[in-house]
């Protein structure tokens, strides 16, 4: 969609694009903070402490916002 000819504000256009992209299979909706089950799974699969697994999760969640 051409931004200049759009009847939507840039913020709404961006929001609509995000909603549209959520329907694609390449994205997941995850909580900002990991659950204990997620931390335990990350800890076991990564052979690291739970604190390290939480830190890794948070770093990936922050990186995914940009």
CA 24 to chain centre: 13
**Predicted local confidence at residue 6, as pLDDT:** 63
Q: What is the pLDDT of residue 18?
A: 83
Which pair of tokens denotes residue 35? Answer: 């659950």
Classify residue 43 as exposed, middle or buried by CB count within 10 Å of its CB (0-12, 13-18, 19+): middle
| C-alpha distances out from residue 56 to 17, 47, 50, Å | 28, 12, 10
What pLDDT does residue 16 have?
87
pLDDT one-digit tens code per residue, 11-57: 998 888 888 877 766 677 789 899 999 999 999 999 999 999 999 99
Q: Per the structure block, which two tokens stand in for 66?
A: 């940009």
Q: What is the pLDDT of residue 30?
A: 86
């Amino acid at each position: 969609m051409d931004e200049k000819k759009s009847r939507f504000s840039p913020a709404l256009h961006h929001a609509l694009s995000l909603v549209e992209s959520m329907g694609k299979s390449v994205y997941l909706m995850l909580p900002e903070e990991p659950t204990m089950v997620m931390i335990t799974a990350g800890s076991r699969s990564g052979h690291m402490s739970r604190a390290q697994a939480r830190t890794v999760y948070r770093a990936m969640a922050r990186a995914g916002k940009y």
